[in-house]
């Protein structure tokens, strides 16, 4: 364990939380969760760093030991959420093989992450949209990674002949992400408390149908099995 090359993802994650996550007392997730709650309740601009600190039960200065700036709090929320979605997406992929099932797994986890914490959903779907700068910056990095995950699954499906090959997998990935993102926004804005995750299936069915390879007579969609 000591000499193995470190997982790049873990390195990135560790770098985010300044140095030692020594014992149990890591205040990084504590403050981040406080920020989610405070931002969701009052909005990013109406919230003060001192509010977040108070909610987290730390001093105002302590926030700056874990985050570069107030903006960094927002960025970290975005980043952590996307990172988790990627991780959960990957984990979900491990259990299924058929391309359409893999897409469904990603979509379900995506909406699960969102619907797990309504405050997070508010921040992620609304507050994050304010700064075009943020959006553009993060779209290029984290979001790119997430889209890459989806694109990979689609490309696999195309390679396996399950999906039509005459559509760019990047474009198809964006369509799926866009649809899921809009589901999430609707759910978050809606006063009703319906099941968000259930919509994953509908979205995937719809898109998968659009992606389906034209049936070749007498040959059903092949199911690939991973070891």
Partner DNA sequence: TATGAATGAGCCTTCATTCAT
Partner DNA sequence: AATGAATGAAGGCTCATTCAT
Is residue 139 at the binding interface for DNA, with CB under 7 A as the rule? no
| Nearest-approach distance from CB 152 to a copy of itself, in angstroms | 22
> Cα separation of 140 and 135, whole Å?
9
User: Which is nearest to 156 in space by CA: 222, 227, 82?
Assistant: 222
Specify the DSSP class assigned to residue 128.
Answer: G
**Nearest CB to a copy of itself, comparing residues 51 and 156:** 51
> Cα separation of 210 and 201, whole Å?
14
Is residue 27 at the binding interface for DNA, with CB under 7 A as the rule? yes
**Nearest CB to a copy of itself, comparing residues 107 and 128:** 128
What is the footprint of DNA within residues 49-108 (CB under 7 A)?
49-50, 58-66, 69-71
Which entry of a copy of itself, DNA, none binds 43, CB below 5 to 8 A by partner kind?
A: a copy of itself
> Cα separation of 74 and 81, whole Å?
11
43-47 contacts at long range (C-beta below 8 A, 24 or more positions apart): 43/127, 44/74, 44/123, 44/127, 44/130, 45/130
Is residue 15 at the binding interface for DNA, with CB under 7 A as the rule? no
Q: Which listed range, 15-23, 120-128, 134-142, 159-167, lies at the site for DNA (CB under 7 A)? A: 15-23
Of 29, 57, 116, 130, the one binding a copy of itself by CB under 8 A: 130
- Residue 146: which residues within 8 A CB-CB, separation 6 or more? 82, 85, 86, 89, 177
Q: Could you list the residues that contact a copy of itself (CB under 8 A)?
A: 41-46, 126, 129-132, 178, 181-182, 185-186, 189-192
């Amino acid at each position: 364990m000591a000499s193995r090359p470190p997982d790049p993802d873990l390195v990135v994650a560790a770098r985010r939380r300044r140095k030692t996550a020594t014992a149990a007392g890591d205040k990084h997730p504590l403050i981040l969760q406080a920020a989610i709650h405070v931002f969701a309740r009052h909005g990013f601009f109406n919230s003060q760093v001192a509010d977040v600190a108070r909610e987290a039960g730390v001093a105002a200065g302590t926030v700056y030991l874990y985050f570069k700036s107030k903006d960094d709090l927002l960025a970290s929320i975005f980043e952590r959420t996307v990172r988790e979605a990627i991780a959960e997406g990957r984990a979900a992929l491990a259990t299924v093989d058929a391309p359409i099932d893999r897409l469904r797994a990603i979509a379900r986890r995506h909406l699960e992450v969102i619907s797990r914490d309504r405050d997070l959903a508010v921040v992620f779907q609304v507050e994050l949209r304010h700064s075009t700068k943020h959006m553009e910056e993060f779209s290029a990095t984290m979001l790119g990674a997430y889209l890459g995950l989806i694109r990979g699954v689609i490309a696999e499906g195309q390679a396996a002949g399950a999906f039509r090959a005459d559509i760019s997998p990047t474009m198809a990935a964006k369509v799926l992400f866009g649809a899921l993102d809009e589901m999430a926004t609707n759910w978050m804005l809606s006063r009703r408390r319906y099941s968000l995750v259930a919509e994953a299936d509908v979205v995937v069915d719809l898109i998968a149908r659009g992606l389906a390879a034209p049936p070749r007579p007498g040959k059903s969609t092949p199911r690939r099995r991973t070891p």
